Structure 1
Amino acid sequence: MLSALGLALALALLIVLTMRGWNLFVATPLCALLVALTSGIALLPPLALEGAPNLVGAYMGGFTGFVTNWFFMFLLGSIFGKLMEDSGAADAIAAAVMRHLGPSHAALAVVLACAILTYGGVSLFVVAFSVYPAALALFRAADLPRRFIPAALAFGSVTFTMTSAGSPEIQNWIPIPYLGTTPWAAWEASLVTALFMAVVGQLWLGWMLKRAKARGERFESREGDPGELRTDLPPLWAAFLPTLVVLGVSFALHDRFGVSALIVALLSGCAAVGLLCLRTLRQPGKAIGEGSTGALIAIGNTAAVVGFGAVAKLSPAFGVAVEAITHMPGSGVATAAIAVSLIAAMTGSASGGQAIALPIIAPIFLAQGVNPDQLHRSVAISSGVLDSLPHNGYVVTTIRAICGETHKDAYLPVGALTVIVPGLGLLLCLGLFALGL
């Protein structure tokens, strides 16, 4: 009972502190401490029994594990984005979009850019780094409130592309070994669901932007922003090609190297910017330095949340909750979706929700004769519903470290597009399964 109360309070406190702008290097250890104190977890290694976990070891294990796995992707992704900005490539892309689509479609252009990169195999975090400079230029040229940039980036990255059939993102691949399926599992229902999420989400984003402008909100420049659209821009083909290089190399090497393909892809992209936009690079050394610093802040914020999740998983209440959630009565497909979504909410991770739930629920439901393709798709889509609560690592990184916004200003549109829209999509998908699609 005490453990359950402590875990619930710690999760609630983390969300509140995140929304209030607390530094995550302070908020996450504080909330982890609450979990440890109410769950009987030793605070320091010398206080733990032999082989037993402790707060410091568990927190730092989760923290350093994430850094180990993702440091070079964050670093190179941030540098790539800064080089695109410094070379004028981001401004060239923004200018082309404004000419062809007009100011009213600036947000749509950002969403499409993220969707193409995400479905092409580029990591979600890297997509945000890479697209942000162009997004900033587009929103500035269209005079749109910049607090909606995180929502546009997140909507294009973690909704209708991340969990769709054929997506190379890990959220679509984790179920495969457990269910014996393919990345294209239940593609018919997935296609309808993805189109529904894309259309509804884009209409909602456009409505929110229109209301904000009607209230008098405009783009507000800040110290450190790049200036107005430059005149010394690289040719449009040279501006686009580095992003296509990242996309192409990532796609070509994904099956062989997995996420490590991103290291090669991003290195290739950085080299392509240097070669193709050499004449318009202004201060490449400064861009690389700023990109490196930004990467450290971004990965640190995310790793801090992962560290808290590592401690939360050790609490007895977490194990009891997982057992109860994964053995709920009802339809196998719907029950699996609810289980994964709730665990993803507790861990703040879509992939974490799947990795914890699938080893338990997959054998149970497969033995009951549940369609594995339907199970795969429901699990994939549901993992992207409640994972995007305020304490989610991607959300924190995108809002704070990449876009420089606050949760108070930026999270509401992010939550609308990454929690409610995928939730509606999940209901539609389950309905399609019930109709036999």
Structure 2
Amino acid sequence: MIGMIGLIGGLGLLIYLTMRGLNLLIVAPLAALFVALMNGLPLFPQLAKEGAPDYLTGYMEGFSGFILSWYLMFLAGAIFGKVMEDSGAADAVSKWIVEKLGMKQAVLAVVLACAVLTYGGVSLFVVAFSVYPMAVSLFKEADLPRRFIPASLAFGSTTFTMTSAGSPEIQNWIPVKFLGTSPLAGWEVSLFVAVFMMAFGYWWLRKMIRKAVEKGERFVERESDHMEERTALPHPLLSLVPLLVVLIVSFSFHESLGTSALILALSGGVIATWLLNRKYFRNFGHAVSEGTAGAVIAIANTSAVVGFGGVVKATPAFESAVAVMTNIPGSPLIGGALAVAIIAGLTGSSSGGQAIALPLLAPHYLDMGVNAEALHRTVAISSGSLDSLPHGGYVVTTIRSIAGETHKDAYPAFGAMTVVVPLLGTIVAVILFSLGLGI
């Protein structure tokens, strides 16, 4: 009982300190220390019996293990996103979508711009940075409350695209390593769920915005809204080519290279962007350097919370929780979805949640005869739900650093789009797979 209180208390501490603005690289090991102390784990390996878990080993194995497995993928993705941004290709695609839809469809334009870039392999953080300036212009023109911009950015990036079949985002590729599936696993059900999440989420977001407008909320301009606009952009259709390169290469080499195919694909996207748009670059070398720095920060923050999960994983309380979740009556997919969602919530990271949960859960469920493709798609979708609790790295970055909003103003809509909608999508996926669809 005390151990379980430690797990919940550690998560609460992680959320609280993160919302107070402290760095995850400090917060995560502190929260993990609380969990370790409450569960009676020795602090150092020298104080533990041979083969017994301890705080330091558990944390550092989780931290370093994630970097070992995924650094090059993070690096290639971050550089690709930055060169798309620096060349103006990301802006060109986004503005093209806005022009086709019109200014009156401000919210839909922001959502679809994010969706196209995300499904093309651009990093979620880069998508938010790239689309935010246009989102401000659109919301200003439509006179909509700016506190809904973070929800619009996140909805287009982290729901019906990030975890869908075929997505080159890392959340769709981690299960490949542990389940022996492909990025297109369960595509029929995935397509249905993606359409459901898109339709329901957009309706709900529009409803919340309309309600706020009816109460008198309007767009409030800031000095920072006056941003320098590029005078020359590459052709939007030409700018889509690097996105297509990422998708085609990743699928072409999946069978022979597995998850490493995505590194090759993203690198191909960087080369294609340079070849097609090199005259539009402001500073290619600087973009690569910024992408590299961004990759280090992103994977360090994710690894910090994976390290927290590594300590959690070493506790008896976690073993008890996993035993409960894997023995839930009914479809084993429910247990898998719950386990990944909860661990993603504990770590504040969808990729971190999968990296911790799947090595433990995949052999168990595969031995039970669970369909690997159904499990892949279900855990992918569920990983993108509780990872967006207030302490998540993407949440904090998008709401505070990019949009300059407060959690109090922006998170209600943000959480509805990124937590509730994916949870409903997970339920729909479990039902459809349980009915035998897509299997």
TM-score normalised by L of structure 1:
0.81
**Residue identity matched to 2:73:** M
Aligned partners of 2:289 and 2:173: how far apart in 1? 35
Range with greater deviation from structure 2 (58-67 or 150-159)? 150-159
Give the Cα–Cα distance (whole angstroms) in 2 for the partners of residues 73 and 226 of structure 1. Answer: 35
Greater CA drift, 408-417 or 298-307: 408-417
**Residues 165/314 of structure 1: CA separation in 2 closer, same or farther (3 Å cut):** same
Q: How far apart are the structure 1 equivalents of 2:82 and 2:186?
A: 39
C-alpha contact 2:106 2:139 (8 A) present in aligned 1: no
The 2-side partners of 1:226 and 1:272 are apart by 32
1:285 aligned partner = 285
Asked if structure 2 preserves the Cα contact closer than 8 Å seen for 1:110 and 1:131, the reply is no
Sequence identity, in percent? 54
- 2: CA distance, partners of 1:3 / 1:110: 44
CA distance, structure 2, for counterparts of residue 322 and residue 316 of structure 1: 10
Aligned to 1:95: 95
Deviation, 1:394, is 5.0
Q: Are 1:142 and 2:142 an aligned pair?
A: no
Partner of 2:19: 19
Contact 2:39–2:316 (CA under 8 A) maintained in structure 1: yes
Q: Secondary structure at the match of 1:217?
A: coil
Q: What is the distance in 1 between the residues matched to 2:179 and 2:67?
A: 30
Quote how far apart the aligned CAs of 1:188 are.
Answer: 4.9
Quick check: 2:163–2:172 contact (8 Å CA) kept in 1?
yes
Letter in 1 for 2:93: I
The 5 A counterparts of 1:186-265 are 188-210=188-210, 215-218=217-220, 220=222, 222=224, 227-265=227-265
Distance 1:371 1:266 in 2: 29
Change in CA separation of 1:358 and 1:76 when aligned onto 2, cut-off 3 Å: closer
**In 2, are the aligned partners of 1:91 and 1:229 still within 8 Å (CA)?**
no
Letter in 2 for 1:426: T
Work out the CA distance in 2 between the residues paired with 1:83 and 1:168: 17
Q: Tell me if 1:422 matches 2:422.
A: yes
Q: Please state whether the residue corresponding to 1:426 is helix, strand or coil.
A: helix
In the aligned structure 2, how far is the partner of 1:373 from the partner of 1:273?
33
Q: CA deviation at 1:119?
A: 5.0
Q: Once the 2 structures are TM-superposed, how far is the Cα of residue 185 of structure 1 from its aligned partner?
A: 6.3
Tell me, what secondary structure is at the counterpart of 2:197?
Answer: helix
Q: What is the CA-CA distance between 1:271 and the residue it aligns to?
A: 2.6
Contact 1:81 1:132 in 2 (8 A): no
Cα deviation code 1:212-239 (max 9, x no counterpart): 66522346464xx993332222333443
> Which residue is equivalent to 2:34?
34
Instruction: Decide whether the 8 Å contact of 2:132 with 2:402 is kept in 1.
Output: no
- Residue-pair matches, total: 427
Please tell me whether residue 82 in structure 1 is matched to residue 82 in structure 2: yes
User: Compared with structure 1, are the counterparts of its residues 84 and 165 closer, same or farther at alpha carbon in structure 2 (3 Å cutoff)?
Assistant: closer
Aligned partners of 1:87 and 1:281 also within 8 Å: yes
Distance 1:183 1:15 in 2: 32
- Once the two structures are TM-superposed, the CA of residue 260 in structure 1 deviates from its matched residue by 2.2
Deviates more, 1:250-259 or 1:159-168: 159-168
Separation in 2, partners of 1:215, 1:241: 40
Gaps of at least 5 residues in structure 1 are: none
Deviation at 1:313, TM superposition (A): 0.7
Q: 1:175 to 1:397 in 2, by over 3 A?
A: same
Q: 1:165 offset after TM fit, Å?
A: 5.0
1:304 CA displacement = 1.0
* Contact 1:302–1:394 under 8 Å retained in 2: no
In the alignment, the residues of structure 2 paired with residue 278 and residue 89 of structure 1 have an alpha-carbon distance, to the nearest angstrom, of 10
Please tell me whether the aligned partners of residues 114 and 153 of structure 1 are also in contact (alpha carbons under 8 angstroms): yes
Q: Which letter does structure 1 place at the counterpart of 2:112?
A: L
| Match of residue 356 from structure 1 | 360
Decide whether aligned partners of structure 1 residues 433 and 232 sit closer, same or farther in structure 2, where only a CA change above 3 A counts.
closer
Moved more, 345-354 or 227-236: 345-354
Aligned residues of 1:185 and 1:374 also touching (Cα < 8 A): yes
**Structure 2 Cα separation of the partners of residues 342 and 180 of structure 1:** 23
- Distance change >3 Å, CA 44–CA 378, structure 1 → 2: closer
Report how far residue 73 of structure 1 moved: 2.9
Distance 1:346 1:359, change over 3 A: farther
Deviations 1:281-331 (A, max 9, x none): 223333333333333222221111111111111111111111122223345
Unaligned runs of 5+ in 2: none
Change (3 A) 1:35 1:83: same
CA distance in 1, matches of 2:168, 2:174: 10
Tell me by how many angstroms 1:32 deviates.
0.7
2:305 paired residue number = 305
Normalising to structure 2: TM-score of the pair?
0.81
The reply on whether 1:388 has 2:388 as its aligned counterpart is yes
Asked whether the equivalents of residues 301 and 397 of structure 1 are also in contact (C-alpha less than 8 Å), the reply is: no
How far did residue 397 of structure 1 move?
6.0
Q: Name the CA distance, whole Å, in 2 between partners of 1:179 and 1:281.
A: 40
Distance between the aligned counterparts of 2:178 and 2:259, measured in 1? 20
3-state DSSP class of the match of 2:282?
coil
| Code of the aligned partner of 1:77 | G
Which deviates further from its counterpart, 426-435 or 188-197? 426-435
Change (3 A) 1:252 1:175: closer
Which letter does structure 2 place at the counterpart of 1:215? E
Q: Report the CA distance shift for 1:53/1:433 in structure 2 as closer, same or farther (over 3 A).
A: closer
CA distance in 2 between counterparts of 1:15 and 1:78 reads: 26
Tell me how large the CA RMSD over aligned residues is.
3.6
Give, as a single letter, the amino acid of the residue that structure 2 aligns with 1:7.
L
1:155 corresponding residue in structure 2: 155
SS of corresponding position for 2:290: helix
